[in-house]
A and B are shown apart, each in its own frame.
Chain A
Amino acid sequence: MIGSVETWLIIAGILIVIDVFFAWSIYVSRIKNDIHNEITQDQRHMLIRILSDKGSAVMKKTDPAIYLTMKRTFQFGAEWEAKIEALLPMNRLERRAIRALRSSNLTKRAEAVFALGRMGNENARLALERQLLIEDHFTIKLYVANALSDIGHSASLPVLIRSLHHASRFYRTRVNMLIADFGQAFHALLPKLYYSKKEEIRELLVDFASVYDSQELKQYLLTVIEPYIEGSGISSSEEERPASCSDCSFGRADGQEGWILCRFRGKVASDFLCRRYQPGPTRISAAQVEQELMHKACEILSTRHPGVLDCDRYLYARDVEIRRAAIAALSNLRGSDHPEKLLDLIRDESIRESAAHALSVMIERDPSLLELVANRFMAETDPSVKRTLAEVLSLRIEYFIMRLMGEKKRVAEHILEQILLTGRVSEVIDFLNLNKNAELEIDLVAIVKRCTQKDPKLKNLFRTYFSPRLQTLCESAEPRPESESDQHSADRAYLIVLSILLVSSFLLVPTVFLVMHRELLGELTLIPGLKLFVRDFNTYFAFYAIAVNFIYFALMGLSFVYVRRQKRSWQIKDRSFLFKPRMLPSISIVAPAFNEARTIIENVNSLMNLSYPDYELIIVNDGSTDQTLATLQQEFGLKRVDRIYAKELQTKEIKGIYLSRNLPKLIVVDKMNGGKADALNAGINVASREYVCSIDADSVLEEDALLKLVSRILEEDVETPAMGGNVFPANGCTVERGVLREKRIPKNRLALLQTIEYIRAFMCGRLGWAFTNNLLIISGAFGLFRKERGVRVGGYLTSSGEYGKDTVGEDMEIVVRISRRMRELGSPYRIRYAFNANCWTEVPEDLKTFKKQRYRWQRGLIEIMYFHKTMLFNPRYGRTGAVAMPYYFFFEILGPLFELQGYIAVLLAAVLGVLYWDIAVMLFVAVVLSGTLISITSLLVAEHGGKLFPLKDVTRLLFWAILENFGIRQYFSMIRAVGYFRIFKGVTGWEKSERRGFTGSESKRPEGVI
């Protein structure tokens, strides 16, 4: 029934051969790569030599692709280009590329598009224009548009404009900017488009106006805002476009205008409507579009054509947005009567804020206005206006503090008092804490005292931030002790379910055994019965192992396919494309830090110098008890600011937000201790960009990791609510000013074994799952999600948050929750993973910490499963419910428990003497050889991303990857089983007394460790 020993021996032989082959090919691919690189290098040098006047080198067989790669960063100019191209077989390349445009393989098409774009000749352009019309894949379409805009021939414009019709907003926002790049050429087309009512064209023109100046465009913008000046714009109900296929999430624009390609019905007219209709994720109503257009137009007018808005018609328009724009325009104008005008406008409540802002801008440009505003302030009687003026003056609060020593002391005192009462206290606190001058101190303290008497709320602020000496000076009482009861009620239902699972996992095999041998039941005595049982158990176990490995093999196969595709798609994307405006979304990196004083500078340096178009870095100091904040302040010259942000997620109190004087991208948030999830939520609140990237403060990102990861967004035009990259142990690496100088495997054996584990988990598991759009887990050490999605699902799970729950696996949980929400909304989405976006982080080097970490992971996984148990086997959740969740449930949660029994059974079999050859060989094949194969193939896959480690290290890694299967992996699996048991201790309060720090032990989860 099992098959003979011979069969298994043959299988074993085959596996060994494959193992050896793969191991060997790692080396071969290395050598091949090296040779290839050398040749490329040589040829590149030859090309460069042509550039120098020192003489034209003889071109051997040079690959024209190298020349095209160089053209990514240079426009050599016609003379040189002609010189080089004469020497290269450009025609052949061109023909091949044009042919490849018709290929069904997406990657091939994309490569061809980029190649043609760089060749940039007439043929290439015509081919691309044709392609733009017939192409139905949006990503490729975007590439084509980009290539055309690179070539920059005005003849391409009509085609490009046409491609906008019925295109998704994803495509439109990007291509609008590409078209705008044409500048003058596009401007010439303006008369044709001027009166178009189509929303695509109107958007295009407004976008164009944001980068191009002309009278006509100015006029156009004015007509856009015109309807809002008198009335309140277009009434939304009349103009609402009826629901139709053109904005259904299943529809795609066909090449031909007026036709839509539906996923279910094929080609249909764009006004067709069926019962499957579902509004697309980016669809918004016509009125909303109009509104947005008007806002954009206002903004552009106020920055680029401020003069035209400077008249009462706009300053006193009915629409507030227009008024604001007009006021902002005033600040951009130079002239003496404007400040007076603004000072009058400030009395109007609806636009006060904008007027105040405009005034601040003007003062910054012309400090002499300060006096005028100060006089106005003194004369003002309306308290709310006075308050606003104080806010404006607070811009130069330091100057007014200094004035306390001078002539106009009274005025300064008055102003300072008012500024403090408006809540701008940071500067005064900072000043007083650092001040050495006694006279100023006395004066300021007197003002502070007066203010705290008027507004008791201020008292608390000063109490928190003043040094003890100043506190006594200001006679503040002791800070109120904050009592907080941290109550975790043990969830009974949770424990019961866990117990049932545990018991049934242990009863499973006996039950099967009894059913199989029911006819023997009466006859069996104890010892033979036990022997039979153990023997059967071994067989089941072997089958289980085979089943698991089959899944891995399947994933591995997918990984192989996917990694090649990813690699090629990364190679074709060049930076000049990725850095084009609006091409990639903006990102807020949130790095929570708890007691990281030792390493924080290094990590900020690493995160500040990433190569990415638009990002900010938010360090959240989670109530560290060491010098973390002080170190940051000293190194980066932090300044406390009163930044306003929407508090969308509930977190522990934020004590202060700091900006760096020199690094505008850096934001430091100081808050009360609340654990990692809480810190992340606080960071999300402060974040202002489209995506939020969570990173452990003790990790180092590779310079282009973010770019590699986020550029995967361009692969398809479905929404990407979350994505994640690789995490590797950094224990062996040397870091220099935030840059990985040398990547080595760790010397520590435990860390080394983890390296293998991580590579396996990411290269086999993550890639495979991502390929099937089943990715459920993203490591907290390096993961991104859309801020809007993250906020809508309630952020990371904390006890103070929306769900009132806490988990140790918050990083993984949020992705599950986002997927769940996306499924519930029914919007198509894809969680992406980039195999070459690397993050390096410290892993535990001693067994104790290691075990603790693994217990946590297991606990986190189970908590998540329990929290989202409704998704399990639920057809409503599609593949996630049908495949991914069950996989985690059976193989990651119950798996280790079953393995534990399996190993015991093998031991028992050995003791009882029933471990026969056939079963032994079978187990060996199922457990050891298959495992080895998976490990080696993972290494091979990892090689695709470039050299991860030097060759010597790879050899060592290979050695351990094989050795690991003889016991070590089994031991790690046991630790996970133990993790399950520990939950019973944990939930009943065994582990929770730990302070919630997070130095590196929680979040590097390489998902289910295979």
Chain B
Amino acid sequence: MNQSRPAEIAPGIYWVGGTFVNKGLQCNPYLLIDDQEAVLIDPGSVLDFEEVWGNVCSLISPDQIRYVILHHQDPDLCSSVPLFEQRGCRFQLVTHWRTKTLVRYYGVSSDFHIINSHQNQLKLASGRTLSFLPAPYLHFPGAVMTYDARTQTLFSSDLFGAFSEDWTLEAGEDYLERMKSFHEHYMPSNEVIRPVMESLMGLPIMLIAPQHGSLIRNDIRMYIKALRDLECGAFLHSVRKNLDISGGYLASAEAVLKRYASLYGLSEAQRVLTESGLRADSDLRVFPAQEADHQMWNALLEKMFARKGLEWLLTAEPLVERLSYEYEIPLPEVYTAHLARSNSELQRLSEENKSLSAARDRLVENLAGVEHSMSHSMLTGLYNFQFFQKYLKEEIGGIIEKELGSSPALIVLSLDQTERIKYRYGDKEVEQMFKNTALLLESIREDYQVYFKLPGSLFACYIPHAAKERAVDVAEEIRNAIASSGKFVEAVTASIGVVSLQELQPEEHQKSIAPDRFYEIALERVRIAKNKGKNRVCGSSSPEDKPSTCDILLVEPEQTVAEVITVVLENMHYSVQHAADGEKALEIAGRFQPALILSEVMLPKMDGFVLRQELLLRSDTKSIPVLYMSHLKTEASVRRAADLGVIHYFKKPLMLAEIQGVVSNLAEKGERL
């Protein structure tokens, strides 16, 4: 169909094209009329100039044209500009600076309005603003599009264009396919077109007016999406295929391997290779295996991650990302799985606590100074003793020197059963135990804590900033995790010492001696914990416990019963505290440190068993002897009580003489009564 009359495609915007079509390439010049001003967009070629001139003149007088917009420099849209000038039109050429350079060669004489120096905008006299959207390399480095916000029209230049053998002004049903083939040929690649299309997604668009092809009014988002996902650059395909054969995955793998070898040594790299089922020569040139594909690429990175952990992933990230981009292969799954997670975690933490993140920075800084291979224990994968000493020196020294306000804490733990396991199961089992402990610690580790494997059966945890109480809580958590774990061949417990930097004497607060002293105190407390009967946390160097302010804690919900027992015990000159439920009992036990707890089993809020379990979780209450008394005394309940280390289980009705007897026996045995 031919159309030679101008058509109003939007209020004040006219299609002013001619009938000349060359090999299916229809050109669409547009005229925008705004009050007394007119803007001509992509005026066209020499071949259809007469028709366009006629159309323009039928709408306005030619001297109203103030601007001519040139989206890029192709002759099919620029070559008629000198002809307009010859007919006496005076206008400014609105274009990108790159386009200007080339347009000059058409022999134009008009002034230029360079959009780069006008914030990519053109302001008309009426205040109407046309904005220009960059479309680099689509298909010229300086290509742009024009967007008219008032009518929400996008003059898209070559984008959204199409080959049209039987052209119509408005796009038909089949326009999508026509458009695709045009883009496949003219646009370089999906990577280039995707971001431009994504930026268009956010723009309100009523009409797309391309320079070739037809006007798009319906389903605009569908068209944008189609282009966004279009694999274009058809003529590049042959080039890329070659790349695949010559390298692709293999080349990427080699590059990554070389980086790996440079960090961890050649032999380590060889090991990874064999583990992931690949072969390579001494220069790490990988022999093409049968499946040199995505699977191999994944497997390789997975293995590396398994051996070297997250640190390696982070180090190699830019390289791998670049390779994936270069060869257009997807990122390995380890990255998508692990890195995204840890990144977001890091971000959260750094926002949460500045002092913590500062500490982490220091750690990273210190880390960088220490050879990684020298810093880790072979067995457990935790940092080793040498590193620990160095780290402590740097860290504590730094804090003292720079007078930073942070108060780090150190937790040192010793596994109590090492000798026993060694004796019963052999050295291998001990190694296994250390490994398991490391894994256990790793699983409860918080991001800012650093774990070390010290000589013997010692482990350490450094917390960059924590109050003493918090550190003790962490230590208790570790203690309970170890004691309740089924990972060991038999039950294993830990004696733990906790120290905070603030506990150091003022005279010890010197850079030279503080780090050693810090560690010494922690060790000393481990010894105290061991002496006190193992499986406990010790947070103070004085061997004395908190002074007990009451002898016996009586937990009994029934008032009368409690009164009678209180009287009986007071007759024996003990002081008695009374709690009516489990929760209250726990609180009193923590506060008063009674020498003995006499408790009913069936209690409101928290029964006697749970109460005992909660008491066991805290080192300061775990060794308070507990006696039960209850109507409920069955085989199951007595067995459970025995498992919890309860000394005696009275059956109600209570024989008062029995209570008196047991309590005074305990006193004689040297309990603190």
Interface residue ranges, A against B (CB under 8 Å): 44-45, 48-49, 51-53, 70-77, 80, 367-368, 370-371, 396, 398-399, 401-403, 405-407, 434-440, 442, 469, 575-576, 578-579, 581, 605, 608-611, 613-614, 661-664, 703, 736-739
Contact = CB atoms under 8 A, between A and B. Distances in A.
B404 to A, nearest CB: 31
B243 to A, nearest CB: 28
B610 interface: yes
B487 interface: yes
Contacts of A51: 564, 567-568, 571
Closest 3 CB pairs of A and B: A579-B631, A367-B490, A398-B486
A438 B309 contact: yes
Interface of B: 302, 305-306, 309, 337, 424-425, 428, 431-432, 435-436, 439, 442-443, 484-490, 558, 560-561, 563-564, 567-568, 570-571, 581-583, 602-607, 609-610, 613, 631-634, 636, 640, 652-657
Contacts of B653: 71-75, 576
B583 A74 contact: no
Given A52-B567, A575-B631, A576-B631, 17 more contacts: A44-B560, A44-B563, A48-B564, A73-B558, A73-B564, A75-B654, A75-B656, A399-B487, A402-B487, A403-B432, A436-B442, A608-B607, A613-B634, A663-B609, A664-B636, A738-B604, A738-B605
Contacts, number: 136
A370 B564 contact: no
Given A74-B656, A75-B654, A662-B610, A406 B486 contact: no
6 contacts: A51-B564, A71-B653, A401-B487, A437-B442, A438-B302, A609-B582
B484 A406 contact: no
A736 B580 CA distance: 14
A605 B605 contact: yes
B554 to A, nearest CB: 14
B424 A581 contact: no
Nearest to B432: A406
A402 B439 contact: yes
A436 B564 CA distance: 55
Nearest to B338: A438
A581 B435 contact: no
B636 to A, nearest CB: 8
Contact of A437 (B439, B634, B656): B439
A53 B571 CA distance: 7
Contact of A662 (B424, B442, B602, B613): B613
A76 B656 contact: yes
B640 to A, nearest CB: 7
Given A399-B487, A438-B309, A52 B570 contact: yes
Nearest to B488: A399
A547 B306 CA distance: 83
B447 to A, nearest CB: 12
Contact of A367 (B428, B431, B489, B582): B489
Contacts of B640: 664
Contact of B571 (A44, A52, A370, A614): A52
A209 to B, nearest CB: 14
B304 to A, nearest CB: 10
Contacts of B631: 575-576, 578-579
B549 to A, nearest CB: 22
Q: Identify which of A44, A370, A439, A440 gathers the most chain B CB atoms within 10 Å of its CB.
A: A439
A73 B656 contact: no
A737 B442 contact: no
A53 B569 CA distance: 11
Contacts of A663: 609-610
A664 B634 CA distance: 14
Contacts of A609: 582, 602-607
A608 B605 CA distance: 9
A661 B616 CA distance: 14
Contacts of B489: 367, 370, 399
A800 B352 CA distance: 52
B605 A406 contact: no
Contacts of B655: 74-75, 77
Contacts of A76: 656
A287 B306 CA distance: 65
A903 B431 CA distance: 87
A52 B571 CA distance: 6
B422 to A, nearest CB: 13
B339 to A, nearest CB: 13
A371 B424 CA distance: 11
Contacts of A738: 604-605
A736 B581 CA distance: 12
A703 B486 CA distance: 35
A736 B605 contact: yes
B605 A399 contact: no
A605 B604 CA distance: 9
A191 to B, nearest CB: 28
A440 B436 CA distance: 11
Contacts of B563: 44-45, 48
B302 to A, nearest CB: 7
B444 to A, nearest CB: 10
B443 A611 contact: no
B271 to A, nearest CB: 13
A472 B79 CA distance: 58
Nearest to A442: B306
A77 B568 CA distance: 12
B17 to A, nearest CB: 52
B632 A613 contact: yes
Contacts of B656: 74-77, 80
Residue among B431, B583, B631, B640 with the highest chain A CB neighbour number at 10 A = B631
A436 B607 contact: no
A368 B487 contact: no
Given A77-B656, A579-B632, A402 B567 contact: no
Contacts of B604: 609, 703, 738-739
B486 A614 contact: no
B484 A661 contact: yes
A401 B653 CA distance: 49
B581 A77 contact: no
Contacts of A469: 337
A575 B435 CA distance: 52
Given A73-B653, A76-B656, A613-B634, A737 B443 contact: no
Contacts of A434: 443
Contacts of A52: 567, 570-571
Contacts of A662: 609-610, 613
B161 to A, nearest CB: 41
A80 to B, nearest CB: 8
A340 to B, nearest CB: 19
B428 A368 contact: no
Q: For A72, A439, A578, A609, which residue has the most chain B Cβ atoms within 10 angstroms?
A: A609
A926 to B, nearest CB: 47
A703 B632 CA distance: 14
A609 B610 CA distance: 10
B618 to A, nearest CB: 15
